[in-house]
Amino acid sequence: MADDMPVAVDDDLQELIDELMNAGPEDEADDREVEEISATALSEATEYLEDPDPPSPEQVGWAEGAVISAQSAADNMASYALDLRRALAVFAGTGRPEEAVLRKNVAWADARRAEAVEIASAARRLLEKELRCMAARDHPVIPELAALITAMRDSTKSLVLQDSGGDAVRSRKVGLLDSAIKFEDAVVGKMTALKEKLTRGAAAFAGEEEIVQALNKHAATAEAEIAESQAFSAVLLADANRAAIPVVVVQKRPAPETETETEEEPPRQRRRTGDAGDSAAQD
């Protein structure tokens, strides 16, 4: 087949055409799998958008991933369709088998690209819905998480006030403080991501002043939460260091060689005349 290819077909197009003309059942199965994935994603996006409740964390996570993956798929399909059209332009009107195969694949690529664009758009709308719901709340942190942070800090504050006690108690306290510090580090990470999302969201809603103000206010709250968490972490770290270092009481005791018996003090020698440094040098 390659011998009777038009001159306009370069090596890249030749490879693409050969691949399409020799496609078998496995390739068709791969195409169907792509179609099923797109259909499932579109169905999920529609279901999430129609849900009257605020988007759940799982739905938001899906949307954040879908925006990236769907946009990437749309870009890839656009590039693929462009290559197919280049090849089709060579065979258009020839009536050759390649023309029919290329037309079929152009239509397939265009359909998949359109679906990917629709999925990315739906995911963005879901993220926009989340931001609008956040703007309507009194606090940027969901009540369940806020309650968990408060409970953990109250528990940890009581731990800081406890006496370190013996080695076993001290070891347990150090372990608990270490866990509390890791928890506060996780809070800082979560609040930092939240602040960045709120700041980006405020910029995206330019022109909707009420939403912009609410999101900026929530971003400031997240910033304050970060500062509080970092300050509390510093207190915990200092207490953990104190608890980890036991207080050692040093008692003066006789040298080992004099523990069992006391030797008489040797007679004091007459002090030599001359400089002490010279005497040491002579010894």
- For 243, residues 6+ apart whose C-beta sits below 8 A from its C-beta are 164, 170, 173, 174, 177
**Cα separation of 213 and 257, whole Å?**
79
pLDDT (tens digit, 9 = 90+) per residue, 184-193? 999 999 999 9
**Contact of 130 with 54, CB cutoff 8 Å:** yes
Rg of the chain taking only CA atoms, in angstroms? 37
Asked if residue 41 has pLDDT above 90, the reply is yes
Query: Which sequence spans correspond to the domains of the chain?
Result: 2-136, 143-244
Record the tokens describing residue 259, joined without a space. 């523990």
- For 260, residues 6+ apart whose C-beta sits below 8 A from its C-beta are none
Distances (CA, A) of 122 to 1, 66, 130, 150: 44, 9, 12, 36
Q: Is the pTM of this model over 0.85?
A: no
Average pLDDT over the chain reads 83
pLDDT (tens digit, 9 = 90+) per residue, 12-33? 888 899 999 999 999 999 999 9
